[in-house]
A and B are shown apart, each in its own frame.
Chain A
Amino acid sequence: MSKRKVKETHMPVGECISQYGYIFQVQMILRERFCHQRLPEKPVGMESQHKHLLELLRRTAVHGESNSVLIVGPRGSGKTMLLNCVLRELLEVKDVNKNVLPVHLNGLLQTDDRIALKEITRQLNLENVVGDKVFGSFAENLAFLLEALKKGDRSSSRPVLFILDEFDLFAHHKNQTLLYNLLDVSQSAQAPVAVIGLTCRLDVLELLEKRVKSRFSHRQIHLLSSLSFIQYLDNVRSQLSLPQDFPDTNFYDEWNDGIKTLCEDQSVVDVLQRHYNSSKDFRSLHLLLMLALSRVSASKPAIKPTDLLEASRVCMVDSKANILHGLSILELCLIIAMKHLNDIYEGEPFNFQMVHNEFKKFLQRKSHSIHNFDKPVVIKAFEHLQQLELIKSMDSSTAKIQKEYQLMKLLLDHSQIMEALQKYPQCPTDVKQWAMSAFG
Chain B
Amino acid sequence: MVRYFTRLRMRRIYKWGGRPYIFDRKLKSYGFEYLNMSVEGQEAVTTVTPGQYILIEGNDDEYPFVAKLLKFFGDESHKQKKALVQWFLRLSEVPQNKKLLLGRSPHPQEIFYYLGRACDNEINAESILGTVDVQHVPEDTPFPEPGTKDTLYVKLSWDTKAFNVLDPVLMQDTPASTPPKPALPLFPPCASPTATPVSRGPVRRALPTPDPTVMRRAGSVSDTRATMSAGKRSTLEAESIHSASKLSASKILSAKRRGSAADTPGVRKKLQLSIGASPGKKMTRADVLCELLDEEMESEKVISLKLSSSVSHSLQHGCSLSPMRSGCKTPNGQRRFPWKLSSISLDRLSPTALGEQDLSSDLLLAVIPLALEDEVFEAGLPTDAGSANTPKKRQATPRRNYVREQKATTPSRRKESAMAIRKPALGVLAEEDSEDSPMQPIALTPRSKRKSAQLVSLRIRKQLNLLDNTQELISDGDDDCFVPSKKDLQSSSDEEKTDSEEETRGRNCKTSVRTPCKTPSKKKDLQSSSDSEEETMVRKTRGRNGKASARTPCKTPSKKVTPSTPRHATPSIPSRTVPARQPGNILEEARARLHVSSVPESLPCREQEFQDIYNFVESKVMDGTGGCMYISGVPGTGKTATIHEVIRCLQHASDMDEIPTFRFIEINGMKMTDPHQAYVQILQKLTDQKVTADHAAALLEKRFSNPAPKKETTVLLVDELDLLWTRKQNVMYNLFDWPTRRHARLVVLTIANTMDLPERIMINRVASRLGLTRMSFQPYSFKQLQQIITSRLNKVKAFEEDALQLVSRKVAALSGDARRCLDICRRATEICEHSTSHPSSAGLVRMNHVMEALDEMFSSSYITAIRCASLQEQLFLRAVIAEFRRLGLEEATFQQVFVQHRALSRVEGLQPISVSEGLAVCQRLGACRLLLLEASRLDMLQRVRLNVSQDDVLYALKAVRD
Q: Give the interface of A toward B (CB within 8 A).
A: 51-52, 55, 62-66, 72, 74-75, 95, 98-99, 101, 113-114, 124, 126-128, 130, 135-136, 138-140, 142-149, 151-152, 154-160, 175, 177, 180-181, 184, 187-192, 200-203, 210-211, 213-215, 217-220, 222, 224-226, 274, 276-280, 316-321, 347, 389, 392, 409, 411-413, 415-416
Counting from the closest, the 7 A-B pairs by CB-CB distance are A128-B566, A214-B635, A127-B569, A148-B571, A64-B580, A224-B868, A318-B914
Residues of A within 8 A of B861 (CB): 72, 202, 220, 222, 224
Residues of B within 8 A of A219 (CB): 823, 827, 856-857
Known: A63-B592, A158-B576, A279-B873. 11 other contacts (CB 8 A): A55-B830, A55-B834, A99-B578, A139-B672, A139-B673, A143-B672, A148-B571, A184-B670, A210-B635, A219-B823, A409-B941
Which of B868, B895, B915 contacts A225, CB < 8 Å?
B868
Q: Which of B29-37, B390-398, B916-924 contacts A (4 or more CB under 8 A)?
A: B916-924
- CB closest chain-B residue, reference A179: B670
Tell me if B856 and A156 are in contact (CB < 8 A).
no
A320-B595 contact, Cβ under 8 Å, with A181-B670, A220-B856, A280-B870: no
Tell me if A215 and B819 are in contact (CB < 8 A).
yes
- CB closest chain-B residue, reference A318: B914
Residue of B567, B582, B830, B915 with highest tally of chain A CB at under 10 A: B915
Residues of A within 8 A of B862 (CB): 202
Residues of B within 8 A of A139 (CB): 672-674, 677, 680
Tell me if B902 and A415 are in contact (CB < 8 A).
yes
Q: Mark B467-478, 1 if CB is under 8 A from A, else 0.
A: 000000000000
Tell me if B929 and A191 are in contact (CB < 8 A).
no
A71–B821 CA distance with the chains assembled, in angstroms: 21
A189–B592 CA distance with the chains assembled, in angstroms: 11
Tell me if B673 and A142 are in contact (CB < 8 A).
yes
A415–B681 CA distance with the chains assembled, in angstroms: 65
Tell me if B872 and A101 are in contact (CB < 8 A).
no
Minimum C-beta distance from B925 to chain A (A)? 9
Q: Mark B651-683, 1 if CB is under 8 A from A, else 0.
A: 000000000000000000011111001001100
Q: Mark B811-845, 1 if CB is under 8 A from A, else 0.
A: 00000010110011011001000100000000000
Q: Which of B45-53, B170-178, B596-604, B710-718 contacts A (4 or more CB under 8 A)?
A: B596-604
A138–B913 CA distance with the chains assembled, in angstroms: 50
Task: Give the residues from 564 to 600 in chain B that come closer than 8 angstroms, CB to CB, to chain A.
Answer: 564-567, 569-583, 588, 591-592, 595-599
Which of A101, A135, A210, A225 contacts B753, CB < 8 Å?
A210
Tell me if A277 and B910 are in contact (CB < 8 A).
yes
Q: Is B408 an interface residue, CB under 8 A from the partner?
A: no
- CB closest chain-A residue, reference B938: A392
Tell me if B823 and A149 are in contact (CB < 8 A).
no
Tell me if B924 and A74 are in contact (CB < 8 A).
yes
A192–B870 CA distance with the chains assembled, in angstroms: 40
Tell me if A317 and B572 are in contact (CB < 8 A).
no
A320–B916 CA distance with the chains assembled, in angstroms: 8
Minimum C-beta distance from B953 to chain A (A)? 13
Tell me if A145 and B571 are in contact (CB < 8 A).
yes
Q: Give the interface of B toward A (CB within 8 A).
A: 563-567, 569-583, 588, 591-592, 595-599, 634-636, 670-674, 677, 680-681, 720, 723, 753, 817, 819-820, 823-824, 826-827, 830, 834, 856-857, 861-862, 864-865, 867-873, 895, 898, 902, 910-911, 913-917, 920-921, 924, 927-930, 938-941, 947
Which of A63, A126, A181, A184 contacts B581, CB < 8 Å?
A63
A159–B677 CA distance with the chains assembled, in angstroms: 29
- CB closest chain-B residue, reference A60: B580
Tell me if B677 and A413 are in contact (CB < 8 A).
no
Which of B563, B753, B915 contacts A416, CB < 8 Å?
B915
- CB closest chain-B residue, reference A124: B573
A158–B823 CA distance with the chains assembled, in angstroms: 23
Tell me if A211 and B753 are in contact (CB < 8 A).
yes
Tell me if A279 and B571 are in contact (CB < 8 A).
no
A156–B569 CA distance with the chains assembled, in angstroms: 20
Residues of A within 8 A of B569 (CB): 126-128, 144
Q: Can you list 10 A-B contacts with CB-CB less than 8 angstroms, sorted by A residue number?
A: A55-B834, A128-B569, A128-B571, A136-B565, A136-B567, A157-B575, A181-B671, A201-B927, A217-B823, A218-B823
CB contacts between A and B, total, < 8 Å: 236
Which of A135, A189, A413 contacts B563, CB < 8 Å?
A135
Residues of B within 8 A of A147 (CB): 571
Which of B565, B673, B834 contacts A138, CB < 8 Å?
B673
Tell me if A413 and B857 are in contact (CB < 8 A).
no
Residues of B within 8 A of A409 (CB): 941
A202-B865 contact, Cβ under 8 Å, with A66-B595, A158-B576: yes
A158–B577 CA distance with the chains assembled, in angstroms: 8
A123–B475 CA distance with the chains assembled, in angstroms: 55
Tell me if B574 and A180 are in contact (CB < 8 A).
no
Residues of A within 8 A of B915 (CB): 318, 320, 413, 415-416
A101-B928 contact, Cβ under 8 Å, with A202-B865, A214-B819, A411-B940: no
Tell me if A144 and B581 are in contact (CB < 8 A).
no
Residues of A within 8 A of B588 (CB): 63
A144–B913 CA distance with the chains assembled, in angstroms: 55
Tell me if A277 and B573 are in contact (CB < 8 A).
no
Tell me if A278 and B921 are in contact (CB < 8 A).
yes
Tell me if B916 and A189 are in contact (CB < 8 A).
no
- CB closest chain-B residue, reference A154: B580
A101-B573 contact, Cβ under 8 Å, with A62-B581, A224-B868, A277-B872: yes
Which of B592, B595, B939 contacts A392, CB < 8 Å?
B939
A130–B569 CA distance with the chains assembled, in angstroms: 12
A55–B753 CA distance with the chains assembled, in angstroms: 34
Tell me if B635 and A222 are in contact (CB < 8 A).
no
Tell me if A214 and B566 are in contact (CB < 8 A).
no
- CB closest chain-B residue, reference A147: B571
Minimum C-beta distance from B312 to chain A (A)? 68
Tell me if B823 and A157 are in contact (CB < 8 A).
no
Tell me if A152 and B573 are in contact (CB < 8 A).
yes
A75-B572 contact, Cβ under 8 Å, with A127-B566, A144-B566, A224-B864: no
Residues of A within 8 A of B869 (CB): 74, 280
A225–B672 CA distance with the chains assembled, in angstroms: 41
Residues of B within 8 A of A128 (CB): 563, 566, 569, 571
Residues of A within 8 A of B670 (CB): 175, 177, 180-181, 184, 211
Tell me if A159 and B947 are in contact (CB < 8 A).
no
Tell me if A214 and B673 are in contact (CB < 8 A).
no
A392–B720 CA distance with the chains assembled, in angstroms: 48
A225–B924 CA distance with the chains assembled, in angstroms: 14
A188-B592 contact, Cβ under 8 Å, with A151-B571, A158-B573, A277-B871: no
Residues of B within 8 A of A201 (CB): 927-929
Minimum C-beta distance from A313 to chain B (A)? 11
Tell me if A202 and B598 are in contact (CB < 8 A).
no
Residues of B within 8 A of A145 (CB): 571
Tell me if B674 and A278 are in contact (CB < 8 A).
no
Tell me if B574 and A157 are in contact (CB < 8 A).
yes
Which of A188, A320, A415 contacts B597, CB < 8 Å?
A188
A55–B599 CA distance with the chains assembled, in angstroms: 24
- CB closest chain-A residue, reference B919: A319
A160-B573 contact, Cβ under 8 Å, with A211-B720, A213-B635: yes
Residues of B within 8 A of A66 (CB): 595, 597
A165–B872 CA distance with the chains assembled, in angstroms: 28
Which of A156, A203, A411, A413 contacts B575, CB < 8 Å?
A156
- CB closest chain-B residue, reference A138: B673
Minimum C-beta distance from A300 to chain B (A)? 28
A108–B857 CA distance with the chains assembled, in angstroms: 27
A29–B827 CA distance with the chains assembled, in angstroms: 40
